[in-house]
């Protein structure tokens, strides 16, 4: 197993500088203001968010915790532009998502958001390198530039020697590191992580958390959802949700 403690924050700075500088110049990386979201069900409406507010400053590592059904995953989906609030506003790097259609939201994600899912969501028919290159090419980068950054990220995350292999041969921890490399491909304003250690054993989970700590030290903004207190403890601030609202913003 690669020792992630060897990842020097100084090594991360050149790879993260573009995204962190952009978000710093526009104020908070994320703002959610009085967000409401209700899902219609056959039995009764489910009020997932009931006036939720959240601000994530540029360079912060924030964990959102709360019981099942408290709205934390819905909040993450709003920030990712994968869903829209019934009321309220979401802003990414100072840009409001209100009124944007699906195409505009997709462009926003390419420019500002990297997502790390619990179950990796890797493309098994592509190589490790191609999984990281693809998001940048879709966003309009020249392939040579995209491949250069992808190789740098894979080397930095300790899986550069796996570039030509299929994701299926990697361990769980390596697969999640690949997912993180893919999330960083477009120099995002913010990385969103949805239960990023949920599919890993304890060793793989700690490996990923240490990597997040190093990315944070290098200047990357991270918003992570988890139900696990030890996982949340890796963040610099813990936000607690209850009944569709932020009950404690961790700033007190």
Question: The pTM is what?
Answer: 0.85
Q: How confident is residue 165, by pLDDT bands cut at 50, 70 and 90?
A: very high
Contact 72, 225 (CB under 8 A): yes
103 Cβ neighbours under 8 A, 6+ residues apart: none
- The matching CATH number, chosen from 2.40.50.100, 3.40.50.300, 1.10.3470.10, 3.40.50.2300, for 4-123+172-179+186-246 is 3.40.50.300
Whether the predicted pLDDT of 84 surpasses 60:
yes
Residue whose C-alpha is closest to residue 146's, from 180, 116, 181: 181
Backbone angles phi, psi at 223, to 5 degrees: -120, 115
Q: What share of the chain is helix, strand, coil (3-state, %, to 5)?
A: 40, 25, 35
Mean predicted lDDT score pLDDT of the chain: 87
Rounded-to-integer distance, Cα 179 and Cα 121, Å = 8
Read off the pLDDT of each residue in 200-228 and give the average, rounded to a whole number. 90
How far apart CA 211 and CA 157 sit, in angstroms, is 8
Average the pLDDT over 68-87 and give the result. Answer: 94
Span 143-156, average pLDDT: 93
Query: Which pLDDT score, from 0 to 100, does residue 85 have?
Result: 96
Task: Indicate if the pLDDT at residue 22 is higher than 60.
Answer: no
- Domain residue limits, the chain: 4-123+172-179+186-246
């Amino acid at each position: 197993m690669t020792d992630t403690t060897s990842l020097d924050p100084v090594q991360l700075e050149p790879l993260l500088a573009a995204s962190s500088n952009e978000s710093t110049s526009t104020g908070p990386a994320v703002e959610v203001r009085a967000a409401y979201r209700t899902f219609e069900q056959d039995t009764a409406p489910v009020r997932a968010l009931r006036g939720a507010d959240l601000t994530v400053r540029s360079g912060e590592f924030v964990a959102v915790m709360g019981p099942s059904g408290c709205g934390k995953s819905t909040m993450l989906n709003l920030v990712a532009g994968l869903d829209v609030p019934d009321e309220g506003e979401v802003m990414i790097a100072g840009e409001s998502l209100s009124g944007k259609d699906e195409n505009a939201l997709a462009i926003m994600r390419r420019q500002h958001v990297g997502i790390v899912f619990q179950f990796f969501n890797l493309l098994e028919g592509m190589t490790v390198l191609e999984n990281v290159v693809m998001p940048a090419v879709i966003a309009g980068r020249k392939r040579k530039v995209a491949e250069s950054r992808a190789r740098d990220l894979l080397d930095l995350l300790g899986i550069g020697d796996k570039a030509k292999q299929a994701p299926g041969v990697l361990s769980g921890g390596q697969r999640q590191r690949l997912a993180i490399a893919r999330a960083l491909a477009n120099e995002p304003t913010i990385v969103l992580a949805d239960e990023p250690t949920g599919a890993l054993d304890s060793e793989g989970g700690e490996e990923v958390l240490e990597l997040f700590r190093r990315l944070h030290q290098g200047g990357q903004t991270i918003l992570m959802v988890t139900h696990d207190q030890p996982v949340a403890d890796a963040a610099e601030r813990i936000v607690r949700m209850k009944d569709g609202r932020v009950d404690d913003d961790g700033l007190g």
